Amino acid sequence: MSLDLSFYSWELIQNFLIKGLLFSVQLTIVATLGGIAFGTVLALMRLSNKPWLTIPASCYVNVMRSIPLVMVILWFFLLIPTLIGRPIGADLSAYITFIAFEAAFFCEIVRAGIGSIPKGQAAAGQALGMSYAQNMRLIVLPQAFRNMIPIFMTQIIILFQDTSLVYAIGAYDLLKGFEIAGKNYGRPIESYLLAAVVYFLICFSLSRAVKVLQKKVAIIR
């Protein structure tokens, strides 16, 4: 069997791949923003000294981190329509699933970032009369987020790779675009090979950006 890549053209990109790439990028951005926001709340709950906050947050994070993402995707896609009595579609299900799932991982990143800030920083804020919320918002979290930028970027790369799992519920992501293109042109093997190359190029480029950010953050420190 010989490989034939002659079918790869701008027409293929325009008709099959751009739509999938846009959805994969949008899903990555929405899941990142939503995951960081929800994950920060979870992290603050886990750092609280109130059991009614720490226990639910810890259970949520531990459960989510212990279940394969593809299973969570299928659960949300199949269970939510049953609970609310109407379908929500593969795209919306993917957004909800990824935010809920990624929040558990961003929670641990934020929690570690907060722990990396010297205790004297928070003590100084308290000495100035700041409340716990003000201390976190104005002193601790800004420094923690700056330190976490490279780790956030690494998690975003993993997140972008994981978007291919929405294939399981029929969402039109980048991988789905390559699959449909392969079927239409009768070249499924070549199409999947090209998909691997595209994913590699995107993720490798982002990983190089992470290294640059790590150096800049190290200089700031």
Mean pLDDT of the chain: 87
Query: Does residue 3 have a pLDDT over 70?
Result: no
Predicted confidence at residue 217, as pLDDT, reads 67
**Per-residue model confidence as pLDDT tens digits over 6-33:** 667 777 778 788 999 999 999 999 999 9
Query: Is 178 a member of any domain?
Result: yes
Domain residue limits at 58? 10-220
Distance between CA atoms of 113 and 130, rounded to whole angstroms?
Answer: 21
Predicted confidence at residue 201, as pLDDT, reads 93
Predicted confidence at residue 114, as pLDDT, reads 86
Query: Is 4 a member of any domain?
Result: no
Read off the tokens for 55. Answer: 């226990």
Query: Is 3 a member of any domain?
Result: no
Query: Is 107 a member of any domain?
Result: yes
For position 49, which CATH number holds?
A: 1.10.3720.10
- The vertex-151 CA angle with 157 and 23, nearest 5°, equals 25
Query: Is 30 a member of any domain?
Result: yes
**Per-residue model confidence as pLDDT tens digits over 45-72:** 999 889 999 999 999 999 999 999 999 9
Percent of the chain at pLDDT > 90 equals: 47
Residue in 128, 114, 90 with CA at minimum distance from that of residue 41: 114
Rounded to an integer, what is the distance from CA 87 to the centroid of its chain? 24
3-class secondary-structure state, position 171: coil
Residue 131's identity, in one-letter code, is S
Count structural domains, the chain: 1
Query: Is 204 a member of any domain?
Result: yes
Long-range contacts of 33-36 (CB under 8 A, 24+ apart): 34/95, 34/98, 34/99, 34/102, 34/103, 35/98, 35/99, 35/101, 35/102, 35/103, 35/105, 35/106, 35/159, 36/106, 36/110, 36/152
Greatest mean pLDDT among 36-40, 86-90, 147-151, 204-208: 36-40
Mean pLDDT, range 181-209, rounded to an integer: 88
Query: Is 5 a member of any domain?
Result: no
pTM: 0.89
Count Cβ atoms within 10 A of the Cβ of residue 17 and give its class: 0-12 exposed, 13-18 middle, 19 or more buried: buried
Predicted confidence at residue 131, as pLDDT, reads 76
Distance between CA atoms of 47 and 71, rounded to whole angstroms?
Answer: 29
Helical H segments across 85-140, by residue range = 90-115, 119-127, 132-135
